[in-house]
């Protein structure tokens, strides 16, 4: 089989590594992929958002199956376009991708179907939003741009001045472009955060092992929000009781709500959850695998990923198709110093052989003129280790991180620390 994976980050590298275990796959393409994964898949130099270019390539190369991973192509209707020319895909269509592409859509869905989430109000006009802020004197308050914003559209304002700044930036300065034309202002929730990815074919929903992201740039959860500096799985806060409540109160109701709205969701549905004292609540939905959650979740998957992808596409998913190891995993991200703000790139990456049970997933990597791997992005790579327990996984991931170096690198040194404290 010829399989195409659309996307080019660490998440896609993890998907490709897992797909490689399937002997039926004879050719794997990554579009655009990145140089770091070039020995695992053939990279196709087309942007993941170039839907026209992608369908043209697909017509010429006829892949048997496509996996569409990043939010932008999903929101642009990449799955609709490929299915229309007869290429079966894993991933939601454009209508279902709204669950991530519009926070207003997601919030209204949750309200209509009584799915627990933070209280909120929606504004299209900046004056009414400001008036609401002045009247509502509870802080912190959360302000979210409606549309996709590279994970940067959420502001947590601790006082009126910060709230006004966030509204001004989104709605008047338009720092997120049209994504900030509407905003959601919502209640601040407290509690541990859990990420749960789930496979669903719109009839059956099977959650994957839970995980914990580390979104802030610096140790101790300090510094600005990033795309994610590391992850561990499973997440120790996510007890079997919490899992059962999430399944009954959030996961299944969401799947059913999407069916009732006429936009059945097929693909990987990401639940960003907050375990509050009043029970689990949804912080956000994503219409795709999380990055770097995928880098700890898929290495623990024991079942065949292509079989699951095809079952989701064909609406034949069964719970027994998805089996996870009871081991633990830790992924440590190495980034360019300065990320998520300004950073330099172009530094050579020196890698030596990794210990057993470890893998490196490349993200911001390209070839220089001589063909050597150099840094080319904020998050450069992730190093994942699997261990018998979380402590062993964390230890191995940091040991393995010593095997790959580049100038100007930085990583958090406390990935998994909080999780280990819970387990004590």
- The residues of the shown chain that bind ligand AMP, judged by CB under 6 A, are 118, 142, 151, 154, 156, 186-189, 193, 215, 225, 272, 283-284
* Contacted by 228, from ligand GLY, ligand AMP, none: CB < 5 to 8 Å by type: ligand GLY
Instruction: Starting at the earlier edge strand, list the strands of the sheet with 183-187.
Output: 120-123, 183-187, 141-145, 154-157
Q: Is 12 in the site for ligand GLY (CB under 6 A)?
A: no
Measured from the CB atom, the residue of 100 and 201 that comes closer to ligand GLY is 100
Q: Which residue is nearest to ligand GLY (CB)?
A: 290
From the CB of 304, what's the least distance to ligand AMP, in Å? 30
CB of 44 to ligand AMP, least distance (A): 29
Query: Which of 290, 299, 377, 387 touches ligand GLY (CB under 6 A)?
Result: 290
- Closest separation in Å from C-beta 235 to ligand GLY: 13
188 binds, among ligand AMP, ligand GLY, none (CB under 5 to 8 A by kind): ligand AMP
For residues 131, 133, 138, 141, the Cα torsion angle rounded to the nearest 10 degrees is 160
Of 151 and 338, CB closest to ligand GLY: 151
CA distance readout (Å), 205 to 94, 201, 249: 20, 7, 13
Instruction: Provide, rounded to whole angstroms, the least separation between the CB of residue 211 and ligand GLY.
Output: 9
Residue entry with tokens 């003129």: 369
Does the CA dihedral 408-413-416-422 come out positive or negative?
Answer: negative
State which residue, 12 or 293, has the beta carbon closest to ligand GLY.
293
Least distance from C-beta 72 to ligand AMP, angstroms? 15
**What is the rounded distance in angstroms from the CA atom of residue 270 to the CA atom of residue 284?**
8
Burial degree of 273 (CB within 10 A; 0-12, 13-18, 19+): buried
Name which position in 228, 264, 387, 416 contacts ligand GLY (CB under 6 A): 228
Instruction: Provide φ and ψ at 106, rounded to 5°.
Output: -65, -45
Stretch near ligand GLY under the rule CB under 6 A, chosen from 34-42, 216-224, 289-297, 376-384? 289-297
| Residue 68 contact among ligand GLY, ligand AMP, none, beta carbon within 5 to 8 Å by kind | none
**Shortest reach from residue 251's CB to ligand GLY, in Å:** 17
286 part of the interface to ligand GLY, by CB under 6 A:
yes
Nearer to ligand GLY by Cβ, of 146 and 293: the residue is: 293
Q: Which is nearer to ligand GLY, 261 or 293 (CB)?
A: 293
Q: Is 280 in the site for ligand GLY (CB under 6 A)?
A: no
Decide: 292 and 362 in contact? Cβ < 8 Å.
Answer: no
Nearest approach, Cβ of residue 281 and ligand AMP (Å): 8
Please provide residue 193's backbone torsions phi and psi, each rounded to the nearest 5 degrees: -95, 145
Nearer to ligand AMP, 193 or 307 (CB): 193
Task: Look at residue 286 and give the partner it binds from ligand GLY, ligand AMP, none, a contact being a CB closer than 5 to 8 Å depending on partner kind.
Answer: ligand GLY
Closer to ligand AMP by CB, 189 or 196: give it: 189
Among 101, 291, 308, 416, binds ligand GLY (CB under 6 A): 291
Q: How far is the CB of 341 from ligand AMP (least distance, A)?
A: 17
The residue among 63 and 234 lying less far from ligand GLY, judged by its C-beta, is 234
Applying CB under 6 A, the span of 49-57, 112-120, 244-252, 288-296 interacting with ligand GLY comes to: 288-296
Give yes or no for a contact between 131 and 144, defined as CB atoms under 8 angstroms apart: no
Judged by CB, which is closer to ligand AMP: 57, or 176? 176
Site string for ligand GLY, 134-153 (x = CB under 6 A): -----------------x--
| Binding-site ranges for ligand GLY (CB under 6 A) | 151, 213, 228, 286, 290-291, 293
């Amino acid at each position: 089989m010829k399989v195409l994976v659309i996307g080019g980050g660490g998440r896609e590298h993890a998907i490709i590594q897992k797909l490689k275990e399937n002997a039926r796959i004879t050719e794997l393409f990554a579009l655009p992929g990145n140089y770091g994964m070039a020995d695992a898949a053939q990279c196709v130099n087309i942007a993941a958002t170039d839907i026209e270019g992608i369908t043209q390539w697909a017509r010429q190369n006829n892949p048997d199956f496509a996996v569409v991973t990043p939010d932008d192509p999903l929101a642009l209707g990449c799955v609709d376009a490929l299915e229309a020319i007869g290429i079966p895909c894993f991933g939601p269509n454009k209508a279902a991708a709204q669950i991530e592409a519009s926070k207003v859509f997601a919030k209204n869905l949750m309200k209509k179907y009584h799915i627990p989430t933070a209280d909120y109000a929606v504004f299209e006009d900046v004056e009414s939003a400001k008036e609401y802020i002045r009247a509502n004197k509870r802080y912190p308050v959360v302000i979210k741009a409606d549309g996709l914003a590279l994970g940067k559209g959420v502001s947590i304002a601790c006082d009126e001045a910060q709230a006004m700044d966030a509204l001004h930036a989104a709605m008047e300065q338009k720092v997120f472009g049209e994504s900030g034309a509407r905003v959601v202002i919502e209640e601040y929730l407290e509690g541990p955060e859990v990420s749960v990815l789930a496979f669903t074919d719109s009839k059956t929903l099977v959650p994957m092992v839970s995980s914990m992201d580390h979104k802030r740039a610096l140790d101790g959860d300090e510094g600005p929000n990033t795309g994610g500096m590391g992850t561990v799985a499973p997440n120790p806060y996510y007890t079997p009781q919490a899992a059962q409540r999430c399944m009954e109160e959030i996961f299944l109701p969401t799947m059913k709500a999407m069916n009732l709205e006429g936009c059945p969701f097929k693909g990987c549905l990401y639940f960003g959850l907050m375990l509050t004292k009043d029970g689990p609540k949804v912080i956000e939905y994503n219409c795709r695998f999380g990055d770097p959650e995928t880098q700890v979740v898929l290495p623990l998957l024991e079942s065949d990923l292509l079989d699951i992808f095809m079952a989701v596409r064909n609406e034949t998913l069964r719970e027994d198709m998805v089996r996870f190891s009871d081991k633990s995993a830790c992924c440590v991200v190495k980034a360019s110093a300065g990320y998520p703000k300004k950073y330099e790139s172009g530094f050579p990456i020196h890698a030596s052989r990794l210990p057993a049970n470890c893998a490196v997933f490349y993200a911001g990597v390209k070839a220089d003129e001589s063909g050597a791997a150099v840094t080319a992005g904020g998050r450069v790579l992730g190093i994942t280790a699997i261990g018998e327990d979380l402590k062993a996984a964390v230890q191995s991931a940091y040991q393995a991180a010593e095997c790959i170096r580049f100038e100007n690198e930085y990583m958090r040194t406390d990935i998994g620390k909080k999780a280990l404290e819970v387990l004590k």
